[in-house]
Amino acid sequence: MLRRFLNIVVREYDTRLYALHRIVLSKNLFYQTTEHAAAQEACKAEEVVKAEEACKAEEVVKAEKKNGGWPPTFLHYDDLPRPEIFFSSRPAMMKASNFHFFSLLPGQGEGCVMFANPSANVSIYDLDMQTVVAVPPASFPKPTNSITLPITNHSKWSPKGEYDLYVMSTEDGSFEFFNYCRTSISAFPNDWYWRPLPHVPPSIPDSYYTVRPASPPFAAAVVDSSTICASSEEGTYAFDMSRGVWRPVGRWTLPFHGAAEYVPEFSLWFGPEGPNGSSQHRLCAFDLASCATAQEAPASQHAWDYLEGLPDEWYPSLRCLVNLGLGKFCIATRCFHRPPEEEDMEEVKVVGDEVTVLTGVEVVRGGNGLQMIKHKSLHYKLDNMGIHCVL
The pLDDT of residue 213 is above 90: no
Contact 258, 320 (CB under 8 A): yes
Q: For residues 361 and 30, give the distance between their C-alpha atoms in angstroms, rounded to a whole number.
A: 8
Distance CA 271, CA 128 (A): 29
Q: Among residues 105, 83, 117, which one has the least CA distance to residue 9?
A: 83
Residues whose CB is less than 8 angstroms from the CB of residue 88 and which lie 6 or more positions away in sequence, other chains included: 16, 17, 18, 94
Residue 283 pLDDT: 94
Decide: 82 and 53 in contact? Cβ < 8 Å. Answer: no
pLDDT at 45 over 70: no
Residues 6+ apart with CB under 8 A from 212: 203, 204, 205, 206
Please report, rounded to a whole number, the percentage of residues in the chain having pLDDT higher than 70: 76
Distances from the Cα of 180 to the Cα of 120, 159, 242, angstroms: 17, 12, 17
- Angle at the Cα of 224 (from 219 to 229), degrees rounded to 5? 25
Instruction: Give the DSSP H or E segment for 35.
Output: helix 34-54
Closest-CA residue to 259 (of 268, 251, 269, 250) = 269
What pLDDT is attached to residue 367?
Answer: 78
Q: Give the pLDDT confidence score for residue 351 in this predicted structure.
A: 40
**pLDDT of 78 over the 70 cut:** yes
DSSP 41-86: HHHHHHHHHHHHHH--HHHHHHHHHHTTTS-GGG---PPPPPPSEE
pLDDT digits (tens, 9 = 90+) for 246-289: 999 999 999 999 999 999 999 999 999 876 556 678 899 999 99
Residue 111 Cα distances to 166, 314, 319, 326, 357, angstroms:
19, 33, 22, 18, 22
Instruction: Please give the model's pTM, rounded to 2 decimal places.
Output: 0.86
Most confident of 100-114, 153-167, 210-224: 100-114
Identify the pLDDT of residue 358.
Answer: 94
Q: In this model, does residue 2 exceed pLDDT 80?
A: yes
pLDDT digit string (tens) for 325-357?
Answer: 999 999 998 887 766 555 554 444 444 468 889
Alpha-carbon gap, residue 141 to 138, rounded angstroms: 7
Distance separating alpha carbons of residues 217 and 169, to the nearest angstrom: 7
What is the full DSSP assignment across 207-238?
A: TTS-EEPPPPPSEEEEEETTEEEEEETTEEEE
User: E strand or H helix at 28, and its extent?
Assistant: helix 25-28
Residue, of 187 and 169, whose pLDDT is higher: 169
Pairing of strands 219-224, 258-259: parallel
- Look at residue 94 in the predicted model and tell me its pLDDT: 66
pLDDT of amino acid 58: 53
Distance CA 152, CA 94 (A): 34
Other CB atoms within 10 A of residue 243 CB: 11
Between the ranges 65-74, 206-215, 324-333, 346-355, where is the mean pLDDT highest?
A: 324-333
Cis status, amide bond into 201, omega within 30 of 0: yes
Contact criterion met (CB below 8 Å) for 177 and 209: no
At 139-151, the pLDDT tens digits run 999 999 999 999 8
Q: Decide which of 102 and 132 is more confident.
A: 102
pLDDT tens track for 229-257? 999 988 999 999 989 999 999 999 999 99
Distance CA 282, CA 280 (A): 6
Q: What is the mean pLDDT of residues 171-180?
A: 91
For the chain, percent of residues with pLDDT exceeding 90: 49
Q: What per-residue confidence (pLDDT) applies to 201?
A: 75
